[in-house]
Structure 1
Amino acid sequence: MALIHCDFFSEVLDISTAMYVILPQPTQGQIGLKGRSFGTKHPVLYLLHGLSDDHTIWLRRTSIERYVAPLGLAVVMPAVNRSFYTDMERGYRYWTFISQELPEIARSFFPLSGEREENFVAGLSMGGYGAFKLALRHPEKFAAAASLSGALDIVSRVRDEARQPEFENIFGDPQKLIGSDNDLFHLAQKVAKSTGPKPLLYQCCGTEDFLYPDNIRFRDFFRRLPLALTYEEEPGTHEWGYWDRKIQRVLEWLPLRKDSQPVTGHP
């Protein structure tokens, strides 16, 4: 695998920002690791961070590079600060950045596939919310999305009085959040009623996680819709041991194409 720390300028944010990118490399002689690639344009997973983290966190807390090496899967890990992947009421346009500008920039820099069936998104906590929002607002762009301990019931989250000023800076008037394009429950209903493509969703949460009730509400609501959801739970809290295990499960679950012949390296 190739690991690239990419600093670049965002026209949408009007600031310099950063992302880590993992690119497939076919290798045989690398000790303890065999990489593969399936062609010139790589399938890609956009891997999103949580509220208190940044673009470095998945590499620092998990073995994501090792996990994706045999899959021929590229991984893009962007930085979005504490934005909830939203065009903030008082702040930066992180939704426009993550949903439009970032994929275009990443594909201009690196050989990443633009095909829907080879584009996926996953994230933890705030990033789980962002992953589902990307897939549900742009089902024509993403074949699958995964939420690990996601903050999926954002309407309930904004009622937290301790964080209300911050949430108002992000979302504005909390009353206007219900039924908006930042409300995952509303987005799920829209996708269910549409005649367009439907993304596959994977959701997991530890039963001792403080976001577990939010996840149960979303699961129960989603199961009433004609959409595909894989839901898993097990004992666990909001911590990296759990997410390191579950990202491996996500990679097993992803609908990666199996019809291509891998390119293999030489010792």
Structure 2
Amino acid sequence: MAFIQCRFFSEVLGLSTSMSVILPEPAPSQIGMPGSSVTSGPYPTLYLLHGMSDDDSTWIRRTSIERYVSNLGLAVVMPQCDLSFYTDMAEGSRYWTFVSEELPRICRSFFPLSDRREDNFVAGLSMGGYGAFKLALRKPEQFSAAASMSGALNISRNLVDEVRGDRDITSLFKRVFGTEGPAGTNNDLLTLIDEAVHQDGPKPLLYQCCGTEDFLYNDNLIFRDACSASGLPLTYNESPGSHDWAYWDAKIQDVLAWLPLNKN
């Protein structure tokens, strides 16, 4: 595998930003890792999103993601998206436009990445789980599968109420979503579920997992039940676990095994 850290100027954001990228490359076996005989691309791609307190380097620093994808022939793009909830912020930068439009275009200009829907996936943890499902539900023609680990999936109703007493979080939500909040908009995942089932065209495959001791567990149950009621395809998994890296390091392996990669 090749690990690359990039800094580049985003015209959408109007600033210099960064991303961490893992690229497949043919390699003999190494101590503790299998070899790889991948071709030169274009590669299927997983956009892997970070949580609220993290950045583009966090998946590399706190999991063994590079080792887990070493023989999959899969590129992994980990962008820096700050405390944006992957949204065109009411008071801030246009991170939704960046991650959904500019980032894939820039990545494909830098690296040999596939632009086929069936080769593009998105996943994330916590805030990134929210971003992953928002990308898949709003851009089903672009992403064939999405995974959320401990995702903040019900921010429009429960999460906002739960954190209302925290002035820092309340201020953040106003900067991101405005004073009216995300309920009923295309930043509300439950609204997007309702819209997805009534739209023609492809539907993304969804994978959702959450630890039963996670403070977001009840919000995950609400999202799961909404998908079940709508008939939207969802693979759901729950097990003991908290909102921590021990859980996410284990579950990213399950996500990789679930991804509909062409392994021929």
Q: TM-score, normalised by structure 2?
A: 0.95
How far is 1:226 from its partner? 2.1
How far is 1:217 from its partner? 0.6
Note the alpha carbon deviations across 1:96-146, whole angstroms, 9 max, x for none: 000000000000000000000000000000000000000000000001000
Q: Indicate the larger mover: 246-255 or 153-162.
A: 153-162
- Aligned partner (choices 169, 173, 183) of residue 179 of structure 2: 173
Residue 19 of structure 1 corresponds to 19
Q: Indicate the larger mover: 37-46 or 52-61.
A: 37-46
Partners of 2:29 and 2:36 within 8 A in 1: no
Amino acid at match of 1:257: N
Q: CA RMSD in A?
A: 1.0
Residue 50 of structure 2 corresponds to 49
Partners of 2:212 and 2:242 within 8 A in 1: yes
| Aligned-partner SS, 1:141 | coil
CA 1:36 to 1:190, structure 2 compared with 1: closer, same or farther past 3 Å?
farther
Q: 1:54 & 1:249 partners in 2: Cα distance?
A: 22
Say yes or no: does 1:249 pair with 2:254. yes
Amino acid at match of 2:131: G
Note the alpha carbon deviations across 1:22-80, whole angstroms, 9 max, x for none: 00011124332223424420000000000000000000000000000110000000000
Identity %: 62
- Aligned partner (choices 158, 174, 178) of residue 160 of structure 2: 158
Residue 263 of structure 1 corresponds to none
Unaligned 5+ segments in structure 1 are: 260-267
Amino acid at match of 2:122: V
Q: 1:124 & 1:236 partners in 2: Cα distance?
A: 13
Amino acid at match of 1:214: D
Say yes or no: does 1:143 pair with 2:144. yes
Amino acid at match of 2:201: G
Residue 202 of structure 1 corresponds to 207
Q: 2:242 & 2:155 partners in 1: Cα distance?
A: 19
Q: Which has the higher contact order (CA 8 A, sep 6+)?
A: 1
Amino acid at match of 1:30: Q
Note the alpha carbon deviations across 1:219-245, whole angstroms, 9 max, x for none: 011101121100000000000000000
Residue 135 of structure 2 corresponds to 134
- Aligned partner (choices 200, 204, 229) of residue 234 of structure 2: 229
| Aligned-partner SS, 1:8 | strand
Q: TM-score, normalised by structure 1?
A: 0.94
Aligned length: 258
Residue 87 of structure 2 corresponds to 86
| Aligned-partner SS, 2:130 | helix
Unaligned 5+ segments in structure 2 are: none
Q: 2:194 & 2:26 partners in 1: Cα distance?
A: 42
Partners of 1:36 and 1:71 within 8 A in 2: no
